[in-house]
Structure 1
Amino acid sequence: MNPIFKHGPSAQHRLVLVLFCSALLIFFDHKLASFDTVRGYLQSFVSPLQYLATTPKQMVTWAAENLATREQLIEENQNYQRQALAFDQQLMELNILKQENDRLRSLLASPLRADIKKMVAEIVSVNSDPYTHQIVINRGASDGAYEGQPVIDDQGIVGQILHVGTNTSRVILMTDVTHAVPVRINRNGVRLVATGTGRIDRLTLNHVPHSTDIVSGDLLVTSGLGGKYPEGYPVATVISVTKNESNAFAKVLSVPVAQIDRIRYLLLLWPEKDDSLFSPKAGNNKNSSQAEKS
């Protein structure tokens, strides 16, 4: 439908009029500051619209920052957990090394005679047979070890080498039933023989007369007889003495001074070169696996 009134300003005239009005408004605003108050009202009116317009962007920015921060915190937490595990492992290794260092210090500080050469050895395996008390150490013929060589820890006598290999040796413990140690009572010098009982914490003394001056608490040390063990090393402590006249001999039990069930490091002893009693030849006899007799 066509409009009734077609007369009016053309688009060109409207554009010129708008430009002219704009120029007048700019002139009055710049020179006379006539629209400061109006601009303030307009700004206050438009501010909520501007806030609403920027809200989506702010929300997206906040969400992105928080998500990134959360992922970063999770990653940092995982890194800290891994570092904590690594530190715990290092601490455990340091504790193990400290314990081994303490054992070695105690071992090297044991009361050794000055004329005896020594070498540290480590246990590599233990005989699983409950009736045989033997261990394997990481020293052999290449290290100068020999059969019958005495073995001690930081407390006292442990046993002697039974068989020697190139790099390892088998040690028979003094608690083995086939092993015996010539000892003497440290208090009065009475000589006896301590024999293994098959129990890791017991030794027995053979053929002790009822008249023997021995009491509970006496310290037994090596007598030096038999050519195996040097004299004066602690062996065991007497824990019970039973004298029954119906028996020919008193029953004497003792507990080894060395903690045989806990040892890891040992000392191999060599005699002085000119000491014929403890020469390697004396240790290389065929009967080193049998009980020593005083």
Structure 2
Amino acid sequence: MKPLFAKGPSLSVRLLAFTVLSAVLMVVDARFDALKPVRSQLGLILTPVYWITDLPLRAWEGISEQFASRSELLAENQKLKAEALLLQRRLQKLATLTEQNVRLRELLNSSALVDDKVIVGELIGLDPNPFTQRIIIDKGARDGVFVGQPVLDASGLMGQVVEVMPYFSRVLLITDVTHSIPVQINRNGLRAIASGTGNTEYLELRHVAETADIKVGDLLVSSGLGQRFPAGYPVAQIKEVNHDSGQPFLQVRAEPTAMLNRSRYLLLVFNDSRSPEERASAAAEAQLRADGKLSEPVAPGPAGSKPAEPVADEQEPQP
């Protein structure tokens, strides 16, 4: 009589058999292409299973997005509105600055209002040599630029032209180690020599006597000695004065008033050889023209003479 339930192989024998079969299948799949169609069919069959198992996660993400916090959305909306307002303000300010820049450049080109003739140049490059302090500007020999010409920005003296090409020039900054400029303290007229250090942040005043009347905050202006730079232009401001009892001279450092690392538009100065009377006459004429009271240029008279009377815009016909 047969038993009702036949006894099969033990569990360990089955595990061993499946293990061997799995190893054989992996070796065959790695070495041969015979199982590629089978693997493709299995992937097609298991695709719905993958989609179903991923369904809860995708559903949870969708629900989370639908029920996002209303306060967070309002806060983000307020932030975006504030940023848009700031950008609009900057745009308006840029438009205002552009118009102001045009007016200032026109004023600077009206050189009759100042003692010296100037033209406006623009910085177009920096000298690649790290051991020099030089810049390149867009004015050259075609514009009348000459070697040794002083260069300023809106805040003070920057340097001088050292090389002139037809359409551009190189300018040596006052902070270059090879550059020195005669200066005087605006407060008391004390003369000194300001030398470059290779650092755009400061200049050094060398051979200043220990007893010299110099203080932190004093303004240094060009003295005009040497006939290279016009007198009276701001150069630097004293930032540090060190007294060393063992040294015969003071250690003085000054910060340039010109924005050497930031200025883009520069002034090239032409020395004015006119007499003070001629300068005053030209300045008065330019002021009258700016006020709309003068229609035609007035020919300069001899030195010491009074400015010519303004010409009326319209004259009555003579009978």
AA partner of residue 142 (structure 1): R
User: What is the CA deviation profile of residues 3-36 of structure 1, one whole-angstrom value per residue up to 9, with x for unaligned ones?
Assistant: xxxxxxxxxxxxxxxxxxxxxxxxxxxxxxxxxx
Matched letter for residue 160 of structure 2: Q
Residue 109 of structure 1: CA displacement? 6.6
Report the equivalent of 1:148.
148
Matching residue's letter, 2:171: V
> CA, structure 1 residues 105+220, in 2 after alignment: closer, same or farther (shift >3 Å)?
farther
1:17 corresponds to? none
The code of the aligned residue for 2:161 comes to I
* Matched-pair contact (CA < 8 Å) for 1:202–1:253: yes
Q: Read off the aligned partner of 1:131 and give its amino acid letter.
A: F
User: CA 1:195 to 1:100, structure 2 compared with 1: closer, same or farther past 3 Å?
Assistant: farther
User: Per-residue deviation at 1:114?
Assistant: 2.4
- 1:139 matched residue in structure 2: 139
Residues 108 and 118 in structure 2, CA contact (< 8 A), matched pair in contact too: no
Cα distance between partner residues in 2 of 1:209 and 1:106: 42
User: What secondary structure does 2:123 align onto?
Assistant: strand
The one-letter code of the counterpart of 2:261 is D
Look up the match of 1:177: 177
Deviation at 1:273, TM superposition (A): 3.4
Give secondary structure in 2 for the equivalent of 1:167.
coil
Q: 5+ unaligned residues in a row in structure 1: which ranges?
A: 1-87, 276-294
1:64-213 alignment runs, 5 A limit: 98-103=96-101, 114-213=114-213
**Alpha-carbon separation, structure 2, partners of 1:195 and 1:186:** 18
Return the letter of the residue paired with 1:213.
D
Partner of 1:69: none
Measure the CA separation in 2 of the matches of 1:273 and 1:225.
16
> Distance in 1 between the 2:104 and 2:175 partners?
22
In the alignment, is the contact (CA less than 8 A) between 1:176 and 1:198 conserved in 2?
A: yes
Counterparts of 1:268 and 1:226 in 2: how far apart (Å)? 18
Change (3 A) 1:130 1:102: farther
Measure, in 2, the Cα distance between the counterparts of 1:96 and 1:129.
34
How far off is 1:148 after superposition?
A: 0.3
1:160 alignment partner, SS class: strand
- Identity, in percent, stands at 42
Cα distance between partner residues in 1 of 2:246 and 2:212:
16
* Aligned twin of 2:247: 247
Report Cα offsets for 1:54-100 as digits up to 9, x if no partner. Answer: xxxxxxxxxxxxxxxxxxxxxxxxxxxxxxxxxx99x86x7656445
What residue is the counterpart of 2:310 in the other structure?
Answer: none
- TM-score norm. by structure 2 comes to 0.54
Going from structure 1 to structure 2, the CA distance change for 1:157 and 1:249 (only over 3 Å counts) comes to same
Secondary structure of 2:142's aligned partner: helix
Q: Which moved more, 1:97-106 or 1:242-251?
A: 97-106
Amino acid in the other structure paired with 1:134: R
Change in Cα spacing, 1:100 to 1:126, as seen in structure 2 (3 Å) is: farther
Equivalent pair of 1:104/1:265 in contact (CA under 8 Å): no
- Report if the CA contact (8 A) 2:183-2:223 is conserved: yes
Q: State the match for 2:270 in structure 1.
A: 270
> For residue 63 of structure 1, what is the aligned residue in structure 2?
none
Distance 1:132 1:100 in 2: 33
Q: Residues 150 and 228 of structure 2 are in contact (CA less than 8 Å); yes or no, is this contact kept in structure 1?
A: yes
Write the distance in 1 (CA, Å) between the matches of 2:99 and 2:135: 22
Amino acid paired to 1:242: N
Number of aligned positions between the proteins:
185
SS at match of 1:142: helix
**Aligned letter for 1:238?**
I
Matched-pair contact (CA < 8 Å) for 1:103–1:265: no
2:194 partner amino acid: A
Counterpart CA distance in 2 for 1:100 and 1:170 is 27
* Consecutive aligned runs of 4 or more in structure 1 exceeding 6 Å deviation: none
Q: TM-score, normalised by structure 1?
A: 0.58
Q: Which residue identity does 1:166 align to in structure 2?
A: P
Task: Choose between structure 1 and 2 for higher RCO, CA contacts under 8 A separated by at least 6 residues.
Answer: 1
Q: Whole-Å Cα distance in 2 between the matches of residues 229 and 101 of structure 1? A: 31
How far apart in 2 are the matches of 1:156 and 1:199?
Answer: 17
CA-CA distance at 1:102 after TM superposition: 4.1
Q: Structure 1: how far apart are the matches of 2:131 and 2:97?
A: 30
Q: Aligned partners of 2:122, 2:95: CA distance in 1, in Å?
A: 14
* Contact 1:106 1:154 survives alignment (8 Å): no
